[in-house]
Amino acid sequence: MIFTAVKTTAAAVVMLLAVTTTVSAQDRVKSDRAKRQADVMKTELSLNDDQYNKVVEINNEFADKAKETKQTSIADQKEARIERAKAVKALNEEKDAKLKTVLTEEQYKTYLAKKEERKNNLQQRRFDNKASIPASRATVAPVKQ
């Protein structure tokens, strides 16, 4: 009986450590991503140290909000994609508004231009990837019976 209690307690401790480690790693990844984004912005926009620290905070805040948005589940997949897209768009607009209060007018214009450039590059890469799919894979062959 004591042996069973020890095994149960040990299993609970192992599970607790696994969950704690996973959550800690996820937070670290989110924090690293927010810092990397701020590092890029510091270089592109010539941010001073105060601006840089505020941008890191804003990036962390919106990383949390984006994570919450992605975890929202809706039964209808198409509706879920539409709702998530609307929520992400609203978050991006809110983030841009906060960044506008931190950046100078010139920095903000550069930020928007770089953001648009990244968006266009992403769309072009997606188009290029679709174009590179062989015709045999692009269409589904009829099933022989």
- Average pLDDT (101-119) is 95
Higher pLDDT, 17 or 46: 46
28-53: per-residue pLDDT in tens? 666 788 899 999 999 999 999 999 99
> Which whole-number Å values give the CA distances from 131 to 29, 117, 124, 134, 142, in the listed order?
33, 21, 10, 8, 22
What is the separation of C-alpha 15 from the centre of its chain, rounded to a whole number of angstroms? 27
70-102: per-residue pLDDT in tens? 776 655 677 888 888 888 899 999 999 999 999
Higher pLDDT, 16 or 109: 109
Q: What is the pLDDT of residue 135?
A: 59
Report the length, in residues, of the chain: 145
